[in-house]
């Protein structure tokens, strides 16, 4: 095709073309060049996006070029112990706020007859805040600039403890990947809280697909909207000074410790199921967030174009959520309506592990950021493998139990 087009351009009479056909040939060539330029520009933009994410994402992003760049500037220095302690305390603080925000949004936006539960709003809100944080540059600029011949206070934005508390802590816990997979399963198996009238069981597959498309589509929209909002707010031209930042970091760290102590006291004093549902979730939340942070820091650099740490956290969290739901909702026997865990307090603990630990070990906000930063083919591969492997694992464990023995309502 290209040879005939070139020959037509160079010698249109030999090709049997009239003079009025020459503009058409040039137009086709111009259109092809524009398409190639567009694809080249998109490739460059994708590379720049990956470089930006690798600097801004606290968990780390498998992008080789950015790692070499940081090493050349001596910005890949290890985190000192004091900074690590502040990072973990800020994650703990953000995690408590994040799990409360998720449960609060779910409670406020869930109602009888709703097609999707309130989790979709929590995922959207988390990705919106994540987009704002990832796009913010001027706010942290004074902390990243070298002064008086010294190295900057922090090598990258992703190493700032308070920023980590916002992204890994709050956003990571306000969203939940495992709960999204559970919602897919409930739609596929047509289980409560919303039972539909499917013409046949095959429509459950459509229900599951609708759930994942809605969640990921709205989460992606929230992430993009948050980035746009951050660009608008940076017109205020405000940047944190080191002294003000250290006060904010110390305040957040102290609040994280104080909030966790208050949670323990409330668990000891308040015995109602409603209190336990919230306090136990807060008790387990920081440990899920810290484990996800550690897994991502350790495993994400291993495989290029596939964030192995985030995948491991999401997959393992979905498996644990499946097991906890099986214990809470699984019948003791085929003829019994009593669940396997029939003690109210034990059920409360499992629900706390469900909402707190599993909901915080898994994340949609970081998952969306990684999907946007990867190039087209790796992005689709990573997204499909993450969703399908977790859903199939839940289907094999909880689905087989439901179809052989059955599920019932929990006692808490």
Phi and psi torsions of 339, nearest 5°: -75, 165
**119 pLDDT exceeds 80?**
yes
Give 218's contacts (C-beta < 8 A, 6+ positions apart). Answer: 120, 123, 124
**pLDDT at 13 (0 to 100):** 46
Supply the pLDDT for residue 50.
Answer: 75
In percent, the amount of the chain with pLDDT more than 70 equals 85
Torsions phi, psi of 125, nearest 5?
-65, -40
d(CA 276, CA 282): 10
Question: What average pLDDT does the structure give for the chain?
Answer: 85
Which pLDDT value is given to residue 27? 65
Residues 190-199 have pLDDT tens digits of: 887 777 788 8
Lowest mean pLDDT among 105-109, 145-149, 164-168: 145-149
Q: Using the structure block, give the residue that is written with the tokens 């013409």.
A: 199
pLDDT beyond 50 at 304: yes
Report the SS3 class of residue 387: helix
Q: Are 167 and 130 in contact (CB under 8 A)?
A: yes
Report which of residues 10 and 278 the model is more confident about: 278
Confidence category of residue 111, pLDDT binned at 50, 70, 90: confident
Higher pLDDT, 57 or 105: 105
CB atoms within 10 A of CB 70: 17
49-81: per-residue pLDDT in tens?
777 787 888 888 776 554 454 444 444 444 444
Confidence band, pLDDT 50/70/90 cuts, at residue 258 = very high
Comparison of pLDDT for 20 and 189, the residue scoring more:
189
Cβ 300 vs Cβ 59: under 8 Å:
yes
Classified as helix, coil or strand, 339 is: strand
**HEC states along 297-308?**
HHHCCCCCCCCH
pLDDT score for 37? 76
8 Å CB contact between 95 and 175: no
Residue 113 CB neighbour total at 10 angstroms: 6
Task: Give the least confident one: 3-17, 72-86, 269-283.
Answer: 3-17
pTM summary value = 0.86
For residue 301, give the nearest of 54, 53, 78, 49 by alpha carbon. Answer: 54
- Long-range contacts of the stretch 256-265 (C-beta < 8 A, 24+): 256/89, 256/90, 256/92, 256/93, 256/94, 256/96, 256/165, 256/286, 257/89, 257/92, 259/93, 259/96, 260/92, 260/96, 260/286, 263/96
C-alpha 90/C-alpha 169 separation (Å) is 7
pLDDT digits (tens, 9 = 90+) for 309-327: 999 999 999 999 999 999 9
The reported pLDDT for the residue numbered 73 is 42
Place of tokens 């919303």: 194
Task: Count Cβ atoms below 10 Å from residue 56 Cβ, excluding itself.
Answer: 22
Average pLDDT over residues 172-188: 93
Q: Is 384 helix (H, G, I), strand (E, B) or coil?
A: helix
What pLDDT does residue 379 have?
A: 93
**Of 81 and 95, more confident:** 95
In this prediction, what percent of the chain has a pLDDT beyond 90?
56
**For residue 5, what pLDDT is reported?**
41
Q: What is the mean pLDDT of residues 213-223?
A: 96
At 103 the pLDDT is 93
Least confident window among 15-19, 128-132, 289-293, 390-394: 15-19
- Token digits for 373? 């930063």
Q: For residue 24, is pLDDT > 80?
A: no
pLDDT at 87: 93
Which of 109-123, 246-260, 274-288, 349-363 has the lowest average pLDDT? 109-123
Quote the pLDDT of residue 54: 79
What is the predicted pLDDT for the residue at 296?
93
Concatenate the DSSP letters of all residues of 71-122 into one string.
Answer: HHTT--PPPPHHHHHHHHHHHHHHHHHHHHHHHHHHHHH--TT-SS-THHHH
Of 324, 318, 326, residue with least CA distance to 352 = 324
**In the prediction, which pLDDT does 75 show?**
45
Highest mean pLDDT among 4-8, 39-43, 148-152, 316-320: 316-320
Question: What integer pLDDT is reported at residue 82 of this predicted model?
Answer: 52
pLDDT at 252 over 80: yes
């080191």: which residue's tokens?
A: 242
């Amino acid at each position: 095709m290209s040879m005939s087009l070139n020959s037509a351009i160079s010698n249109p009479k030999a090709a049997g073309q009239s003079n009025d056909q020459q503009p058409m040939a040039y137009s086709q060539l111009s259109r092809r060049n524009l398409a190639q330029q567009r694809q080249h520009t998109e490739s460059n933009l994708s590379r720049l996006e990956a470089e930006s994410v690798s600097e801004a994402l606290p968990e780390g992003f498998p992008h080789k070029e950015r790692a070499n760049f940081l090493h050349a500037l001596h910005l890949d220095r290890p985190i000192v112990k004091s900074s690590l302690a502040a990072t973990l305390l800020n994650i703990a603080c953000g995690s408590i706020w994040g799990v409360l925000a998720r449960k609060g949004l779910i409670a406020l936006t869930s109602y009888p007859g709703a097609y999707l539960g309130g989790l979709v709003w929590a995922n959207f809100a988390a990705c919106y805040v994540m987009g704002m944080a990832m796009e913010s540059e001027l706010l942290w600029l004074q902390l990243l600039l070298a002064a008086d011949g010294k190295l900057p206070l922090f090598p990258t934005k992703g190493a700032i403890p308070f920023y980590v508390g916002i992204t890994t802590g709050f956003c990571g816990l306000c969203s939940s990947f495992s709960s999204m997979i559970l919602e897919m399963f409930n739609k596929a198996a047509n289980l409560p809280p919303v039972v539909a009238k499917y013409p046949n069981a095959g429509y459950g597959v459509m229900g599951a697909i609708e759930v994942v498309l809605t969640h990921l589509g709205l989460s992606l929209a929230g992430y993009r909207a948050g980035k746009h909002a951050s660009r608008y707010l940076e017109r205020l031209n405000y940047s944190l000074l080191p002294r003000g930042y250290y006060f904010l970091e110390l305040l957040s760290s102290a609040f994280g410790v104080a909030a966790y102590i208050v949670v323990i006291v409330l668990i000891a004093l308040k015995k109602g199921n409603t209190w336990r549902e919230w306090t136990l979730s807060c008790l387990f939340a920081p440990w899920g967030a810290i484990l996800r942070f550690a897994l991502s820091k350790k495993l994400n650099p291993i495989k290029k174009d596939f964030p192995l740490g985030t995948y491991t956290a999401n997959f393992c969290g979905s498996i644990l959520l499946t097991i906890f739901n099986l214990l809470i909702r699984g019948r003791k026997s085929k003829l019994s309506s009593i669940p396997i865990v029939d003690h109210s307090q034990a059920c409360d603990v499992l629900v706390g592990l469900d909402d707190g630990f599993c909901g915080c070990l898994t994340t949609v906000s970081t998952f969306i950021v990684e999907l946007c930063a990867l190039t087209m083919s790796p992005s689709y591969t990573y997204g499909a493998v993450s969703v399908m492997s977790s859903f199939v694992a839940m289907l094999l464990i909880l689905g087989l139990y439901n179809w052989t023995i059955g599920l019932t309502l929990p006692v808490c």
